[in-house]
Each structure stands twice: as structure tokens, then as C-alpha cells.
């Protein structure tokens, strides 16, 4: 954390406090040998059992969470794949580097976790599911081995495990990313349709084009259709959970759960008309920004942490757990003390920050333990929501709490100023998009870009 993020007023004390780890950190906990980072694209936290969902979408992830450290209020730094993974893999806010919305991966001058760990002698392997994670967007930076072919999760994880068969003796960083929860919500049975009401008689098919048609009024869409779409999305989670659960079990059999820090998270959530839209690109609200963050490190006790944390915290946390020096470019903060069993005091007063990154978006936000300030920098307009009472943000309470709005706005502006200071203000080097990438982006709903 840089000095520039400290603040005036009441929040000064809280945020400066956040820079100092609380006493009692257990430095005797073992240093993990490897790092395994799993990103399940488009997985909104509140649709997982362990985050309180009513449906049994995630028995395996729930079991993993019960033996891990779970962050209940983890927030991504943007509403789509590029800023989300940028935060997760580089510890940088999107506005702190210069990227176009089309090719918005990290520019060459920003260090990725793979580059940092590669520099420390780790073998670095990325297995991603194509689309926005194809190498053209820059997330392959620093990986010794990067596979970006789009395949379904069963076959995909077989590829990962075949690679481990031949290489797991090395000290490694493994990054695994899959799109199986993302639209078009076509996960196969028995799980894909397991939450669909058998009485549903509609014809809606939840893919990107149809959601666009609903939003533009070209396709009729009723409550039954919405329930069907959500059920298909949940079926995709259940399907993915089944395969990820098997993968985690096999990691255990390989002895890797005892020797690795294993992190499960997502780059962003999904919208189901809570604010009138669908998917994630056009909506900048809490259901899109709230992601799971579950950290399993050997020798640590399971716990749940209620304070807000950010995807930019992943890189500093990993480095700290490994006993490596902090990276000077990181904008997040280490959660290793909390993972090691320290008190929550170090998180007191923390907020999470996120930016609307779609073309024309002026939305910026900070999320505290209880509230979310949503601010439009173009219209200088603020909204405040009580996430405990109103987690889908239906009632704006900004007018009732002007002092809190002012405090959170100060934090927000401080983060924006730090982004400005870091951003070199020149176009990042870009690589051309090939036809296959363009086709995959269209299939994922990025038809307008």
C-alpha cells in the first residue's frame, strides 16, 4: 500500500492501521511449495452454497471452503474478464494501466504473477479456456507454458492433470481458468438442467444474442423465462463444481493440497435483471462485482472473514505466504496474516474499489464492510446501499447518510488519484486479434466489440 492511499479524516486511522499487520501472526505456518490459482469465470458469489445460496449448486466448493479461509466480501475490480483477471494476476487496478476495452489485458510493462514467480524460479503454467484469456490479450505474460484452446471442463482438466503427471516434481505456479459457468448456460446433464422447473413451457434459450434481444424489446421475456435462465446458470455452476471437486480430490491424492496454496475465485459475477440487465458487461452493481475468494494453505485453520478484500490482494497474499518479498508495483495488500490465523484487526476500515471499464462507463465504487458507494464520475452523482439489509442494491440511502457518502467518496477519489499517478497515459502495445479469437468472442457475447 502506498502512502498515497492514506486519507484525511476518520478513515485515516483505519486505513493506516490496515498497513500494519496485527500482532500474533503465526509465522511458524509452513511455507507452501506451489501455487494453484483457479478462476471460474462469471461465478457470482451469492450463487454458491457456502455464500448462502438456497440451491445446492456447489457441494464440492462448499466442502473446500470448510477447510479453507473464505472471504465473504471479496470484490473484483471491474465488471468483466479483462479487468477482473488483470486485478487477480497483476495486483493493478484497471485505471492504473493504459488499455483499450477491446484488448485490455495487462501491458508489457506491468508484471504478472507468472513473471514474478518465474523470476523466483517457479515453473509457470497457464491453462485457460480461450475467449478473453487467449494469449492475444496478454495474460500469457510470464508463463513458461500457456494453453488457451477452448474445451469443455472435463477434457480441460484432463489436460491439466496430464501436464501435472509429467511436471509436478517442479516447484510451480499453475493457473486454471474455465468458462463453463458463462453464457450460453448449456452445461450438459445430469447437472446442467438439474434446477430447471419441469413445468417450464417457455422457449427462451439463455445465450448472449437472446439476452440482447430481450433488452432491446425484440424478444418477450417473462418471470418464468428469468427463472429458467437462472436455473440454467445454476446448473452450470453445479456441473463445474462436480468437475472442480474431482480435480481438488485428485490434487489431494497427488499430495498437492498439503504442499500448495490453492485459491479458488472468479473474475466477476453475473446480473439477472436485478438492475434491468443481463450478464455482466453492461451492469456495474454488486451482483456483478461480488466474487468468491477461498484460500487453502497447508497448516492453516479454516475461517470466514467478513471484511472487504479485493482481487488485487491475491498477488501480495501469494507472495507473502511463500515468504517472498512484496512486489513494488502491487496495489493490493497481503491477506497472509489473516490466512495464517491472525486477528481481523488488520482489515478494520478497509474498503474494496472497482471501476466500470466498458466504453462510456463513469461508474466507480467502494465497498466497505457494510455499505457500497456507487459513484458516477461523469455526472458527479453518488448512490449508497446497505449491503447487509439490501444485498442487491434496490434502495438508495445516500440522502440519509451524507457523512458516510462523503467519507467513502474521499476514499474513492484517493484510489482514482493513485490510478492517475500510475497510468503512463499512452496506449499499451497491442497484438492483432485473429479470426478464431474474434469468433470465440462473438460466441461469448462480445459481438459489439
Query: 58 in helix, strand or coil?
Result: coil
By CB under 5 A, is residue 81 in contact with Zn ion?
A: yes
CB of 267 to Zn ion, least distance (A): 4
- Smallest separation, CB 99 to Zn ion (Å): 15
Q: Give me the residue label for grid cell 496478454.
A: 138
Q: How far apart are CA 438 and CA 449, in angstroms?
A: 9
Query: Which value, to the nearest 10 degrees, does the dihedral of the CA atoms of residues 98, 100, 105, 107 take?
Result: -40
| Interface region with Zn ion, contact rule CB under 5 A, candidates 11-19, 248-256, 267-275, 283-291 | 267-275
Site for Zn ion in 283-302 (CB under 5 A): none
Cα–chain-centroid distance for residue 383? 23
15-54 residues in contact with Zn ion (CB under 5 A) are: 41
Q: Which residues pair with 73 in a beta bridge?
A: 308
| Segment contacting Zn ion by CB under 5 A, of 52-60, 74-82, 116-124, 402-410 | 74-82
3-class secondary structure, 151: coil
Minimum Å distance from CB 394 to Zn ion? 25
Q: Is 270 in the site for Zn ion (CB under 5 A)?
A: no
Distance, CA of 283 to CA of 289 (rounded, Å): 9
* Among candidate residues 114, 111, 169, the one with its CA nearest the CA of residue 144: 114
Binding flag, residue 183, Zn ion (CB under 5 A): no
Could you tell me which residues come within 8 angstroms of residue 293 by beta carbon, excluding any fewer than 6 positions away?
Answer: 70, 71, 74, 263, 264, 265, 309, 311, 314
Q: Is 265 in the site for Zn ion (CB under 5 A)?
A: no
Number of residues that bind Zn ion (CB under 5 A): 3
- Does position 79 interact with Zn ion (CB under 5 A)? The reply is no
CB closer to Zn ion, 150 vs 383 = 150
CB 51 within 8 A of CB 292: yes
Which of 41/271 has CB closer to Zn ion?
41
Q: Which residues are CB-contacts of 31 (< 8 A; sequence separation ≥ 6)? A: 321, 322, 323
Nearer to Zn ion, 151 or 409 (CB): 151
Our CB check for Zn ion shows the closer of 39 and 124 to be 39
In the bound state with Zn ion, the residue whose beta carbon lies nearer, of 7 and 128, is 128
For position 320 contacting Zn ion by CB under 5 A, the verdict is no
Residue whose Cβ sits closest to Zn ion:
81
- Quick one: 268 or 364, whose CB is closer to Zn ion? 268
Pick the piece of the chain touching Zn ion (CB under 5 A) from 118-126, 209-217, 264-272, 356-364: 264-272
Residue whose C-alpha is closest to residue 329's, from 419, 264, 412: 419
Smallest gap from residue 264 Cβ to Zn ion (A) = 15
Q: Which residues are near Zn ion by CB under 5 A?
A: 41, 81, 267
Amino acid at each position: 500500500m502506498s502512502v498515497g492511499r492514506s486519507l484525511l479524516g476518520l478513515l485515516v486511522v483505519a486505513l493506516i492501521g490496515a498497513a500494519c499487520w496485527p500482532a500474533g501472526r503465526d509465522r511458524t505456518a509452513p511455507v507452501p511449495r506451489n501455487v494453484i490459482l483457479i478462476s471460474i469465470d462469471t461465478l457470482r458469489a451469492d450463487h454458491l452454497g457456502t455464500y448462502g445460496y438456497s440451491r445446492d449448486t456447489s457441494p464440492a466448493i462448499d466442502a473446500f471452503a470448510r477447510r479453507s479461509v473464505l472471504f465473504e466480501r471479496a470484490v473484483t475490480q471491474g465488471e468483466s474478464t479483462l479487468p477482473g483477471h488483470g486485478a487477480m494476476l497483476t495486483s493493478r487496478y484497471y485505471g492504473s494501466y493504459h488499455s483499450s476495452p477491446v484488448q485490455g489485458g495487462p501491458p508489457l510493462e506491468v508484471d504478472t504473477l507468472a513473471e514474478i514467480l518465474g523470476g523466483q524460479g517457479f515453473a509457470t503454467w497457464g491453462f485457460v479456456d480461450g475467449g478473453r484469456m487467449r494469449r492475444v490479450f496478454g495474460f500469457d505474460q510470464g508463463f513458461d507454458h500457456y494453453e488457451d484452446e477452448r474445451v469443455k471442463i472435463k477434457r480441460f482438466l484432463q489436460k491439466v492433470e496430464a501436464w501435472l503427471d509429467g511436471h509436478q516434481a517442479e516447484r510451480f505456479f499453475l493457473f486454471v481458468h474455465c468458462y463453463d459457468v458463462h453464457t450460453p448456460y448449456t452445461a450438459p446433464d445430469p447437472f446442467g438442467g438439474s434446477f430447471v422447473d419441469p413445468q417450464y413451457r417457455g422457449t427462451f434459450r439463455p445465450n448472449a444474442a437472446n439476452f440482447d434481444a430481450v433488452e432491446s424489446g425484440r424478444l418477450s421475456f417473462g418471470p418464468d423465462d428469468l427463472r429458467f435462465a437462472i436455473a440454467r446458470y445454476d446448473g452450470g455452476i453445479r456441473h463445474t463444481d462436480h468437475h472442480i471437486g474431482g480435480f481438488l480430490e485428485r490434487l489431494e491424492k497427488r499430495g498437492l493440497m498439503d504442499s500448495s496454496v490453492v485459491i479458488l475465485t472468479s473474475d466477476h459475477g453475473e446480473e439477472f435483471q436485478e438492475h434491468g440487465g443481463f450478464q455482466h458487461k453492461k451492469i456495474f452493481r454488486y451482483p456483478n462485482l461480488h466474487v468468491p475468494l477461498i484460500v487453502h494453505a497447508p497448516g492453516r485453520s479454516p475461517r470466514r472473514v467478513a471484511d472487504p478484500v479485493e482481487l488485487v490482494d491475491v498477488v501480495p497474499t501469494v507472495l507473502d505466504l511463500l515468504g517472498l518479498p512484496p512486489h513494488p508495483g502491487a496495489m493490493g495488500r497481503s491477506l497472509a496474516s489473516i490466512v495464517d490465523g491472525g486477528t481481523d484487526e488488520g482489515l478494520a476500515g478497509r474498503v474494496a474499489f472497482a471501476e466500470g471499464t466498458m466504453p462510456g462507463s463513469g461508474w466507480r465504487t467502494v465497498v466497505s464492510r457494510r455499505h457500497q458507494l456507487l459513484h458516477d464520475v461523469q455526472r458527479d452523482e453518488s448512490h449508497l446501499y446497505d449491503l447487509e439489509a439490501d444485498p442487491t442494491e434496490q434502495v438508495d440511502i445516500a440522502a440519509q447518510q451524507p457523512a458516510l457518502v462523503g467519507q467513502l467518496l474521499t476514499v474513492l477519489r484517493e484510489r482514482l488519484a493513485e490510478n492517475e499517478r500510475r497510468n503512463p497515459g499512452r496506449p499499451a502495445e497491442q497484438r492483432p486479434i485473429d479470426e478464431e479469437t474474434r469468433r470465440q468472442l462473438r460466441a461469448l457475447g462480445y459481438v459489439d466489440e
